[in-house]
Amino acid sequence: MSKAELKRLWDEGWRVLLDTLTALSEEDLLKHIYIRGERHVVLETIERQMAHYAYHVGQIVYIGKQLKGCHWESLSIPKGKSEEYLRQMLEKYQDT
């Protein structure tokens, strides 16, 4: 599978999730559903599923870091750069 195809599938999966969440009403969030025969409130199920996604995204990041090695580019503030980032943010907001 090409990188472009993988990205397309990734984006499509998130689009389906976000469209589904957007379509839910407040009343829907308090309804019950069954997963493997166990009763769950929809809102709790969404929280559970988001934690599940976070776990798998973490696995993907871990594998990416292993494959890229020293060429890995941080997805957030790079290790050891927190002070530099904070300084830049403070300077940015002092100018406004």
Average pLDDT, the chain: 93
User: How many other CB atoms are found less than 10 A from the CB of residue 73?
Assistant: 8
Q: Yes or no: say if 84 and 92 are a contact pair by the CB < 8 Å rule.
A: no
Q: Is residue 96 over pLDDT 70?
A: no
In angstroms, the CA 6 to CA 12 distance is 10
Between residues 94 and 27, the one the model is more confident about: 27
Q: How confident is the model at residue 39 (pLDDT cuts 50, 70, 90)?
A: very high
Q: Yes or no: say if 45 and 33 are a contact pair by the CB < 8 Å rule.
A: yes
Element spanning 33, H or E: strand 32-35
> What is the average per-residue pLDDT within 17-39?
96
In angstroms, the CA 73 to CA 22 distance is 32
Please tell me the pTM assigned to this model: 0.67
Q: How confident is the model at residue 17 (pLDDT cuts 50, 70, 90)?
A: very high
